[in-house]
Chain A
Amino acid sequence: MGVAQDVPSTIDAVWRIESARLIAGLARTVRDVGLAEELAQDALVAALEQWPAAGVPDNPGAWLTAVAKRRAVDHFRRRERYERKVAEIGRDLVSRPDPTEADLVAALVDDGIEDDLLRLVFTACHPVLPTEGRVALTLRVLGGLTTGEIARAFLVPEPTVAQRIVRAKRTLTSQQVGFEVPDRAELPERLASVLEVIYLIFNEGYTATAGDDWMRPTLCEEALRLGRILAELTPAEPEVHGLVALMELQASRIGARTGPSGEPVRLLDQQRGRWDQLLIRRGLAALERAERLAGPPGPYQLQAAIAGCHARARTAGETDWIRIAALYQVLAQQLPSPVVELNRAVAVGMAFGPQAGLDLVEQLPGEPALAAYHLLPSVRGDLLARLRRFDEARSEFERAAGLTRNARERELLLERARGCAPAG
């Protein structure tokens, strides 16, 4: 047995491959995600105890399932005894009929495991849970991450994450959240909740900087994995493919995002030779899957389409700004937000000239949400500079520099301000 086959690493790997399906199958039978997760953990503990000596079984997934099944049966037998005791004392308990052992054995076969996985996704991301609870529970039961890994990824103490997971499980029980795929009427809202969780995880990883715990950037990979899994479970949902496309395309630029001194590099200034072509190809393919499905594009698909325009341009100069501007216009209708409007103004400024962009930007300052947003004066400064209104441009860049909290960003803005000084 060589280095690569050490049992703890193998158990970790098997857990990562098998745990979500294991929990999903158990959850359908015991109808309680929290209990299912605990039973699965019991099986993991058994593996940690037995495999180092006995060796890793040929079919590790089946081994874990068998152990978890036995624990489930034990659990219900204990509950039966408990409930008989309670009945003896004469208390009335409303209890659902418990599955028999035969039911359990029958239920935990592989058929329908994809459906169970989908049920698990929707349950872990249920809107009744607070966002942080959904994120922690999703990474736990679908990602197979440990509490410690989740804590390091989100820069919070481990007990905090443990509490979030405990509370989430309790809420699912107390709110009597069933283990079901939502029906057609609820699906859009429930799916939106799932996509929100996945994208949140992605962005947490995307904003990680060098020097952060190495778990943080792996959140992007985790989110991509969850998105890809979901895309195979719900192939007819365009927004799922849209989100996957957006994440693949954003991830393709990770290698180009920071300069040699760790400073952030804007998309238009990035060395495109550093963009990951494999991820770009995957992102464009996912976008195509979304576009082939009927119906008007949703916000993720639109954002992905915008990212796709950038990905397809071999140089910044070849960017199809007219298409981007049009996409932002549609996006603004779906996701009305001053930030989207600002991005649209930038695109319009590139497509139709700085005056057109400036006209749009002038309509924005009234928005209270933008008052402290440094990109607004930064964009204004850029457009004014292109119109050769250098004095106004300089004061906009200086205002932007004052608003940003990022030291390198501030340096860049001050440099741009200096660039607008009257020539000697």
Chain B
Amino acid sequence: MRFMVMIKANPESEAGVLPSEELLTAMQRYNEELARAGVLLAGEGLHPSSKGARVRFSGGRTSVVDGPFTETKELVAGFWIMQVKSLAEAIEWVKRIPQSDGEEGEIEIRQVFEADDFGDALTPELREQDRRLREQAAAQAGDQSAG
């Protein structure tokens, strides 16, 4: 299973304040641990929202809004994609993410859709297609001469 792990922003990250040397080193070590466990698929940090933009869709038209955006705690500051066996395992890994002392923070974990997951959604259509193919094959089997 894959999970996207998102570190939420805080006023410092939005202000473009780089984490302390200590935290950066700890993060580096954490990323190495993830890689050494064969769990890390991808991971990146995101620039503050002041460098970003939003595109709004309404009535067939688009409008662009430049950052920064105000709801700091809801913004994503960085993410990982992890390959693990369960949500519980993702949670265990996330608990080990190094934090600055005393700081409050939130990290969100969301499961990533994979090819298999779409199976159920496609079933009604596929069942119909499958039924037609079977009928076709049965008809052909009746038509074919021996050999």
Contact = CB atoms under 8 A, between A and B. Distances in A.
Contacts of A282: 41
A145 B66 CA distance: 49
Interface in B117-140: 119, 122, 126, 129-130, 133, 137
Interface string A218-231: 10010011111100
A261 B126 contact: yes
A17 interface: yes
Contacts of A175: none
Interface string A1-40: 0001110011011101100000000000000000000000
Given A9-B88, A12-B88, A278-B42, A17 B93 contact: yes
A98 B41 CA distance: 43
A260 interface: yes
A225 B88 contact: no
Contacts of A210: 119
Given A10-B88, A13-B88, A17-B93, A261 B130 contact: yes
Interface stretch (B15-23, B30-38, B45-53, B56-64): B30-38
Contact of A229 (B38, B92, B116, B130): B38
A172 B38 CA distance: 27
B27 interface: no
A45 interface: no
Interface in B48-100: 81, 83-89, 91-93
A232 B37 CA distance: 9
Contacts of A114: 36
A274 interface: yes
A225 B83 contact: yes
A228 B84 CA distance: 13
Given A13-B92, A17-B93, A261-B130, A228 B35 contact: yes
B26 interface: no
A283 B36 CA distance: 16
B39 interface: yes
Q: Is chain A's interface secondary structure helix, strand, loop, or mixed overall?
A: helix
B114 interface: yes
B115 interface: yes
B86 A13 contact: yes
A69 B92 CA distance: 23
A16 B130 contact: no
B129 A261 contact: yes
A105 interface: no
A16 B42 contact: no
Given A261-B126, A261-B130, A17 B88 contact: no
B89 A261 contact: no
Contact of A260 (B32, B42, B89, B129): B129
Nearest to A18: B92
A159 interface: no
A225 B1 CA distance: 12
Contact of B89 (A5, A13, A226, A229): A13
A255 interface: yes
Given A4-B87, A12-B86, A16-B89, A278 B130 contact: no
A254 B35 contact: no
A221 B83 contact: yes
Given A9-B86, A12-B85, A411-B137, 9 more contacts: A4-B91, A10-B91, A16-B89, A17-B93, A221-B83, A221-B85, A229-B36, A232-B32, A276-B115
Q: Enumerate the 8 nearest inter-chain pairs by beta-carbon distance, A residue then B residue, closest first.
A: A255-B115, A228-B38, A225-B38, A9-B88, A13-B89, A13-B88, A229-B38, A232-B36
Interface of A: 4-6, 9-10, 12-14, 16-17, 60, 114, 210, 217-218, 221, 224-229, 232-233, 254-255, 260-261, 274, 276, 278, 282, 411
30 contacts: A5-B88, A6-B88, A9-B87, A9-B88, A12-B86, A12-B89, A13-B85, A13-B89, A13-B91, A14-B92, A16-B89, A114-B36, A218-B85, A221-B83, A224-B38, A224-B83, A225-B38, A226-B38, A232-B32, A232-B36, A232-B38, A254-B115, A255-B114, A255-B115, A255-B116, A260-B122, A260-B130, A261-B126, A278-B81, A282-B41
